[in-house]
Structure 1
Amino acid sequence: MSEIVEAGHGLIPVTEGEWAGWSFWQSDAFEQVAGPFYERRKDNGDWICAFRTEDRHMNGGGFLHGGCLMTFADAALFTIARNEMHDSFGVTMNLSGDFLNPAKPGQLVEARGEVTRGGGKTVFVRGIATADGTPVLSFTGIIRKTGKRPSSLPA
């Protein structure tokens, strides 16, 4: 993936370790604290988003905190909708989720999904997050395109 990186913005490719071949957004400070969350394009052109759970992501019962999982789902909306968003910025208009199973420390959480309606300024997305292959969250969201990205920033 060849992406342009300028002034603290952009998709940063990872070249070493567990996440080699993935990328993360340098410009989203909150996602860096919550995650970081990684993404990559699959061979079929679809996108996948992932992170590995740590003790800091857990709730008082020792399971993945629902707020962390919803934050991940919010980030995954934009990863899943990457092809539809093209060169646009966007904001989440709606995000809802159904918690299906708990996740534990050390598990790989992945989100996949599809755009159910695109075109124009509104993009509808649905997805599923799994922890080591077990479904943990079913989610839907609506993204509102807010304008074009400057040509120096990645789409």
Structure 2
Amino acid sequence: MDGGEVLENTYISKLTTVTDGEWAGWQCYPGGDPFEDLAGPFYYKVEADGQKVCAFRAEHKHMNGGLFMHGGCVMTFADFSLFVIARDAIDGSRTVTATFNCELVGTARIGELVECRGEVVKAGRSMVFVRGIISAPGGPVAAFSSVLKKTTVRG
């Protein structure tokens, strides 16, 4: 495996810092979400001002039949990004995406760097409101907003 562990049929990933190549210094969660592992890899870093930026390099597997970035890929990356953006507000709570709104306004092409930046609009006791912008060299790709719901473990 990749340093994570399996606990009660749930894979618990460990945050990994990339040490070489294009993504040296960036972080990722290998094995943390099987679908994101298939769609990604997706990375993030925290800039000097504390802002989180998420990114990935567009590959052929991310494209639709017209060789534009597939909307499902954009939305999967947005879902990854909103959890990174809200990480401090979530504070280790088990959390799920409750609502998700996305406007696809542009595209990315093979080889381009796709980035996401965003903010927590409001963090409540049980819900966290997040919004973000995904961009590529040609401009904005998508705008999204979401509500994350902190959940409790049912016994």
**TM-score above 0.5:** yes
Q: Taking structure 1 as reference, are residues 65 and 6 closer, same or farther at Cα in structure 2, changes over 3 Å only?
A: closer
The higher relative CO (CA closer than 8 Å, separation ≥ 6) is in 1
Matched, 1:45 2:33: no
Determine the C-alpha separation between the residues in 1 that align with 2:53 and 2:59.
Answer: 20
Letter in 1 for 2:78: A
Question: So what's the TM-score if we normalise by structure 1?
Answer: 0.88
Letter in 1 for 2:118: G
Q: 2:40 aligns with which of 35, 47, 54?
A: 35
Three-state SS of the structure 2 residue aligned to 1:18 is: coil
Determine the C-alpha separation between the residues in 1 that align with 2:138 and 2:80.
Answer: 19
Q: Which residue of the partner structure matches residue 72 of structure 1?
A: 77
Percent sequence identity is 48
Determine the C-alpha separation between the residues in 2 that align with 1:119 and 1:11.
Answer: 25
Three-state SS of the structure 1 residue aligned to 2:77 is: helix
Which aligned pairs between 1:65-104 and structure 2 lie closer than 5 A? 65-104=70-109
Q: Which residue of the partner structure matches residue 135 of structure 1?
A: 140
After superposing on structure 2, the runs of 4+ consecutive aligned residues of structure 1 that deviate more than 4 Å are: none
Point out where structure 2 has 5 or more consecutive residues left out of the alignment. 6-11
Point out where structure 1 has 5 or more consecutive residues left out of the alignment. 149-155
Three-state SS of the structure 1 residue aligned to 2:124 is: coil
Q: Taking structure 1 as reference, are residues 102 and 133 closer, same or farther at Cα in structure 2, changes over 3 Å only?
A: closer
Q: Is the 2:108–2:138 contact (alpha carbons within 8 Å) kept by the matching residues of 1?
A: no
Q: 1:23 aligns with which of 20, 27, 36?
A: 27
Three-state SS of the structure 2 residue aligned to 1:31 is: helix
Letter in 2 for 1:137: A
Q: 2:14 aligns with which of 2, 10, 33?
A: 10
Letter in 2 for 1:38: Y
